[in-house]
Each structure stands twice: as C-alpha cells, then as structure tokens.
Amino acid sequence: MGEGVYKEKLLLDSTKNFVTLIGANKFTTVLTYDDHTGKVSPKGDSINTRTSWSFKILADNFTASNITFQNDAGFSAGQAVAVESDGDKAMFTNCRFIGNQDVLFTNSEKSRQYYQQCYIEGTTDFIFGPATVWFEQCHIHSKKNSHVTAASTPAEKKWGYVFNDCVLTGDTSIHNASLGRPWRPYAAVVYIHCFIGEHIRPEGWSNWNNTDSYKTARYAEYKNYGPSADPAKRVNWARQLTDEEAKEYDVRKFLSNFTLTK
C-alpha cells in the first residue's frame, strides 16, 4: 500500500484467509474511519462498540506491517474501535493503532494474535477482549487517567494478554492510569520485563468498581522496571510470577502454531 490516508470502513470477511497488507510507511500509510457509539449508520442503525470499527478482520492468518490503523472520531466520542481482530493467527509488525476509547478489540476467544514492535495509544480500555494475545516490544501509550486493558479471558484459557519487553508511557498530565481492569471474571493479563511509566498508579490495577470479577482475575507481573513498577505497592489480588512460572511464557512456543504461508 502506498502512502496516503485511506478513509473507509473496511471488512475482511472469513473467506479471505492468508491476506497480507504491507504499507509504505507506518506514519504515512493510514487506514481510518470515524464511527463511534451514538453515531447513526447510513442504514439508520445506532453505532455501538461492536459496530464502530474502522477495520474488522474475520479471516484467519492475516498479517500486516508498516500501517497505521486509526479511529479518528475524537477524544470525547466514546467507544470508537480502530481494529476489531477476530480471526485466528493474526500478526501485526511495526504498526500503529491510534484512537481513544476501545481502540483495539481482540474479539474472539478462539483467536491467537501477535503484535511486534507496534505502537498502541488510547484512553479507556483501549486494548480489550477475550483473545489470547502476545505483545512483543510494543509501546503502549495512555492519554487519560483510565485503564490500559479490559481483558475478558475465558476461564479455560491459560493465557490472555502477555506484554513482553514493552514500554508503557502516558501523557505528562496522566498519573492515575491502571494496567488493567477485568471486563469478565478470570481476565488474564501479564506484564514481563516491561517499563512501567509514572502515569500508572502505584497499586497497578483496578477492580472495576468493586464488582466481583477481580476476585478471580489472573493479573501478574515479572521483573518490570520504571517509576511505577514497585511490586510492594500493588493490589493484594495481583501477584508477581516466580522464575519458574515466568519460563512458561515463551514467545517461540506461542508462535509455533502460527502458519505464515498457505
């Protein structure tokens, strides 16, 4: 794909497996749209979180690199998904995910996804859903005192979100963001060897307004560093992985089931 801003609502249906998109430049090859909750579609339906996507991927074995995926509805627009990724074995490399609330919707409990050296920014719950997802050397940027993740991992899935060797930053005005809050019981999120910026609250996590989901949430960290990485200040229902437990999180094993060609 050449440089340019492509403003169009895009759907890759489930029959279009093994599609690859390669942009000319991740900053100047931009796929964008501006649907958001409350907006009315051309058919007369009210847009909601699940229909607000700029790009929806239903196909398996999708890969993308050097592209910005964006929802430019605006800071106060409410839920406005840039990418809804539902297919299995999705891979994104050197991409940017730009928006505000609910930017990246990993919306299938059967889906496995991999993001390498990507930049993801947003305000509230901007990485969310039930999929199993590995984030490798990604930059995660918060633009509001809210929540980075809202995982809804099924109880039977061992892993939910794994952030490995990532960098978490925030706007200079942000000092009370959380690493995540559990959208459903058994939400699973792990940060391993990540830089945790000062925008993250000392206790790390949020219990979502004292609902019971936090009691079974599987939130953990391992050898994180940075101004807001002190394990002694974390909530008592999150934990630090042991050395042996951390060894189980192996990206080579995660990627061993991915098929990159037909």
Phi-psi region of 125 (alpha: psi -120 to 50; beta: other; left: phi over 0): left
How far apart CA 77 and CA 158 sit, in angstroms, is: 34
Which of 116, 134, 224, 133 lies closest to 179, judged by CA? 224
φ, ψ of residue 244 in degrees (nearest 5): -65, -40
Q: Which of 35, 86, 125, 250 is catalytic?
A: 125
Q: Which residues are within 8 A (CB) of 210 and not within 5 positions of it... i.e. 6 or more apart? A: none
Q: Which residues are within 8 A (CB) of 247 and not within 5 positions of it... i.e. 6 or more apart? A: none
Instruction: Note if 34 is an active site residue.
Output: no
- CB 142, CB 169: distance < 8 Å: yes
Instruction: Note if 165 is an active site residue.
Output: no
How far apart CA 229 and CA 223 sit, in angstroms, is: 8
- What are the residues facing 7 on neighbouring strands? 32
- CB 132, CB 111: distance < 8 Å: yes
How far apart CA 82 and CA 102 sit, in angstroms, is: 8
- What are the residues facing 113 on neighbouring strands? 90, 133
Phi-psi region of 8 (alpha: psi -120 to 50; beta: other; left: phi over 0): beta
Q: Which of 60, 72, 86, 102 is catalytic?
A: 102
List residues with catalytic annotation: 102, 125
